[in-house]
Structure 1
Amino acid sequence: MNGNLMGEYKKILEDNIQILGYEELRYSIFEGAENNRQEYQIRIEKIGDIFEVYMTADRAGVIGKYEFEDIFDAFHQFLSIMQDTILSNRKRVRDGKPAEYPSSLWDN
C-alpha cells in the first residue's frame, strides 16, 4: 500500500476523531510501532499486510492487540477502544478512583 493511500486513511480517521470530539485522547495513527509511544495510548499501525490496533498501558507496554486485514475493520476497533477509554475513565472518576491521565473528556 503506497504512502499516499496511507495518508488518506490517516486523514479519514483523524476526521472521525474530530467529529466525535476525541482529540484529547492519546493516540497514534501509522507513526511506527516504536515512535511517539506514550502511556495509555490507542494505536493503529500497518505491519506488512495487517493493520494492528492496540492500547499501551503504564510504561507504554502493549495490551489488547487486534489484527485486521481490512482497514475499515481496524478503524472500527480503534474508535471503539477510544469510546471504551472515555467510558472507563468516567466510571473511575465517578467512583473516586484516579483516571489514566487528566482529560476534560472525563474530568468534568
Structure 2
Amino acid sequence: MNRDLMEEYKKILEDDIQILDYEDLRYSIFEGPENNRQEYQIRIEKIGETFEVYMTADRAGVMGKYKFKDIFDAFHQFLSIMQDTILSNRKRVRDGDPPEYPCQLWDK
C-alpha cells in the first residue's frame, strides 16, 4: 500500500476522532509499532498485509491485539476501543477509583 493512501486513511480516522471529540485520548495512527509509545494508548498499525489494532497497558506493554485485512474493520475496532476506554474510565472516576491517566473526557 502506498504512502499517499496511508496518509489518506490517517486523515479519515483523525477526522472521525475529531467529530467524536476524542482528541484528548492517547492514541497513535500508523506511527510504527515502536514509535511514540505511551502507557494506555490505543494504536493502529499497518504490519505487512494486515492492520493491527491494540491498546498498550502500563509500561506500554501490548494488550489485546486485533488483526484485520480490511482497513475499515480496523477503524471500527479502533474507535470502539476508544469508546470503551472513555466508558471504563468514567466508571472508575464515578466509583472513586483512579483513572488510567488524567483526561478531561472522564469528567463529561
- Any runs of at least 4 consecutive aligned residues in structure 1 with deviations exceeding 4 A, and if so which? none
Q: Percent identity?
A: 84
Per-residue CA distance 1:32-54 (angstroms, 9 max, x = gap): 00000000000000000000000
- Equivalenced residue count is 108
Partner SS for 1:76:
helix
Q: In structure 2, what is the Cα distance between the partners aligned to 1:53 and 1:59?
A: 18
Q: In structure 2, what is the Cα distance between the partners aligned to 1:40 and 1:25?
A: 9
Give structure 2 stretches of 5+ with no counterpart. none
Q: How does 1:18-97 map to 2 (within 5 A)?
A: 18-97=18-97
Q: In structure 2, what is the Cα distance between the partners aligned to 1:73 and 1:51?
A: 9
TM-score by length of 2: 0.99
TM-score by length of 1: 0.99
Give structure 1 stretches of 5+ with no counterpart. none
